[in-house]
Structure 1
Amino acid sequence: MVKVFNHPLIKDKLTRMRKIETQSTKFRDNLNEISQLMAYEVTKNFEMIDIEIETPVAKTVGQKLKDKVVLIPILRAGLGMVDGLKQLIPTASIGHIGLYRDESTALPKQYYCKMPDCLKDSNAIILDPMLATGGSASEAIKIVKSFNPKSISFMCLVAAPEGLNKILKDHKDINIYIASLDEKLNDKCYIVPGLGDAGDRLFGTK
């Protein structure tokens, strides 16, 4: 399932992020806020269980999430999406995946992977602001699948059609959530119009 958002608040905040003059602090703030807005759709089909509680007035039956949630940012830009989701799902655990591109093969290589023990049978949400060629995202999904989570969702801000097609080819069984499906990749594999290098803009490293 692919969901491309068409929400006024997401469009407004993403436009702010795209602007070349937007500084790191505002870029980070808007990334957090968009992540939270997207989270309502990403989590809407998570299973619930009934629990008995007592309000100041009476006993009643409420609901809580049945399964654990694990947030998995792809380093380093994916880290910018964690705080917004963690505020909404404070019980979520966090895993990390680090990938780099092998210059000789142009394929993604794993340099770091640390997952919580609860990932098995949990709802995993993989986070990366950019989906360009799709190589790193596809490899990250493959890694997460090896831990046998209950479900996998991939969540990004801007995607190129080439990257989306790569994931759809490699992983037909996951849910993909995109704030904006952009036009294409340029000859340097940057998303057009995109928003530049999300990691550099997020952490002020360029």
Structure 2
Amino acid sequence: MENLTIIRHPVLQHKLTLLRNKQTKSSEFRRLLNEISGLLAYESTSELALQPVDIETPLEKMQGQEVKDSPIIVSIMRAGNGMLDGLLNMLPFAGAGHIGIYRDRFIQNTVEYYFRLPKTSAGKQVLLADPLLATGDTAIACVDRLKQYGVGKITMLCILVSEQGVEKLHHFHPDVKIIALSKERDLNAKGHLLPGLGDAGDRLYKTKDA
């Protein structure tokens, strides 16, 4: 599928299996998501532009390279917050923003309750973080808002995606690249990914019994 990258690296797939396991405790779930997110950061920034910089090693002067334009990491709250530290640990020069949007099943629409980006967001590459891309409605609403602010290229970083969600997001925003670890078999009647890993927010923050 165009503009969708599924990473099948053995280490990531091993960590994903532990993440899926319902026996994995919340503390371990947080640690695994943090580690996976750092590795996703590496994959998603391979095309960042570099610029020369003069430095001095303990032995001599030389010219090295540094990232020219740092990206902005935007978390789709609340589950996206579980990815934020891992991404920022790998990309400490990046800015960070938060979007609070959820799909209300009663009004059949998305509801925004929080939106905050760094002031220098215009034209910047955005890494949009959310562990799960299911129906795609929340992701579409987030991308809509980001584009209103004139950001640059948007890459969505996920753990799991559905074919329906990817197709829907790309119908409205074909320019958004998606990087994930697995495209799931299906969605159930409640819009949950199958086989999935459950509700990522609940598992991160122990807000519901297993």
TM-score tier, shorter chain, comes to: over 0.9
- 1:13 alignment partner, one of 7, 15, 24: 15
> Does the alignment pair 1:158 with 2:154?
no
Instruction: Report the AA paired with residue 34 of structure 1.
Output: I
The share of aligned pairs that are identical, in percent, is 39
The 1:17–1:95 alpha-carbon spacing in structure 2 relative to 1, beyond 3 Å, is same
Retained in 2: the 8 A contact 1:52–1:62? Answer: yes
Number of the residue aligned with 1:23: 25
Give the TM-score, by structure 1 length.
Answer: 0.97
Superposed CA RMSD? 1.0
CA shift for structure 1 position 124: 0.7
Q: Output aligned runs, 1:102-113, within 5 Å.
A: 102-113=104-115
Partner of 2:62, secondary structure, is strand
1:110: Cα distance to partner?
1.1
Specify the alignment match of 2:54 in structure 1. Answer: 52
- 1:25 CA displacement: 0.6
Partner of 1:179: 181
- 1:40 corresponds to which letter in structure 2? Y
1:16-43 residue CA offsets vs partner (Å, 9 max, x unmatched): 0111111001101110111111211100
Q: Is the CA contact (8 Å cut-off) linking 1:132 and 1:191 kept in structure 2?
A: yes
Q: Which one of the candidate residues 109, 128, 131 is aligned to 2:130?
A: 128
Amino acid of the residue matched to residue 68 of structure 1?
Answer: S
1:80 aligns to what? Answer: 82
Question: 1:135-174 CA distances to partner (integer Å, 9 max, x unpaired)?
Answer: 0011111111112222111000011111111111111112
Q: Which runs of 5+ in 1 are unaligned?
A: none
Looking at structure 2, the residues matched to 65 and 146 of structure 1 have their Cα atoms a distance apart, in angstroms, of 26
Q: Distance in 1 between matches of 2:165 and 2:183?
A: 10
SS of 1:118's partner is: coil
Can you list the C-alpha shifts for 1:88-127, whole angstroms capped at 9, x where unaligned?
1112111000012234431112111011011112111100
Are the counterparts in 2 of residues 52 and 60 from structure 1 also a CA contact under 8 Å? Answer: yes
1:51-86 superposed Cα distances (whole Å, 9 cap, x missing partner): 111111111111111112111000000000011111
C-alpha distance in structure 2 between counterparts of 1:3 and 1:187, whole Å: 26
Task: State the Cα deviation string for residues 179-198 of structure 1 (Å, max 9, x = none).
Answer: 11110101111100000000
Normalising by structure 2, we get a TM-score of 0.95
Aligned length: 206
